[in-house]
Amino acid sequence: MYGSVPLIVRLLASSVSVANRAGKIVRDVMSKGELGIVEKGKDDYQTEADRSAQRCIVASLAAQYPNLKIIGEEDSLEDEGEVVSDWLVNEIDKEILKLQCPPNLQEVKEEDIVVWVDPLDGTSEYTQGFLEHVTVLIGIAVNETPVAGVIHQPYYKNIVEGDKKIGRTIWGLHGVGVGGFTPAPPPESIVITTTRSHSNPVVEEALKVMNASKVLRVGGAGYKVLQLLEGNASIYVFASPGCKKWDTCAPEAILSAAGGKLTDILGNFYKYGANVTKPNKTGVLAAVNNELHSYALERIPEKLQETLANK
């Protein structure tokens, strides 16, 4: 039906619709009050919302794009049998379908793509009631580089034409731009966003050298990048292993589509191919433009970079 639309645009349009449905699942689990929390590792939790949202996302995208490689955070879910029909999303966002695909992405095939899924970024915040920090992340990488992505906020409250609406979906596509929100310039003084709950002495040392007027400690990589995009923060600094490729693929794609930059603490881009290691071992350094990214990178002490690189 939409065969004339380039694959990347169709996949982004599908991802927007699927993320909306996954966000509703996240809200439904919370409203029932049975979170089904499982501790996967130290400070690493999974809930019924993570599990159900991922099954919705993976099954829906796999049904529409059978040759895609999809990597989700909850990787033990692959053999859990049938997905309830109510979770299978066939819709495709009509507004996204109208986007002009950049020339360098027009010939991309399913086999060239890896989709990285975090069904619930900010699980500990979800369990503790910091619901505005929670996001659903779907990142689309081509030849190991993030080129498109979706960040859905299930608990974002806004007014649309006088009606209260809950949830919003932000998207980005290389060579096209971003949508679903109003981008804003960075603050006039340096404001840093960083981890709310995973700090350590190395993380704090990297923050000190930035000469920031303010530090925003929030949960989830998706929510931190939103602080950059909406002008609440200048730089996102996390000088520690801890986050994974599914945490950063979608945010990196959207941030770069908006003119920003996300790398590790050494200034190197992560690769998002099917066979890469999943942890982002050398931290995250992101900014809404290249100038701020360079400012931050120049201030990270070499010794600190070496400490992370050799972990």
247 among annotated binding-site residues: yes
Is 277 tagged catalytic?
no
Of 43, 44, 47, 50, catalytic:
50
Pick the catalytic residue from 47, 123, 193, 248.
Answer: 123
Q: Is 95 annotated as a binding residue?
A: no
Residue 204 CA to chain centroid, in angstroms? 23
Residue 112 annotated to the active site? no
User: Tokens 């966000």, residue?
Assistant: 23
Max Cα separation, the chain? Answer: 56
Would you say 118 is a known binding-site residue?
yes
Tokens of 175: 């060579």
Q: Which residues of 159-185 are buried (b: 16+ CB within 10 A; e: fewer)?
A: eeeeeeeebbbbbbbbebebbbbebee
44 is in an annotated binding site: no
- Which amino acid belongs to residue 1? M
Binding residue numbers = 73, 118, 120-121, 247
Q: Hey, which residues are catalytic here?
A: 50, 123
Residues annotated within the binding site for Mg(2+) are 73, 118, 120-121, 247
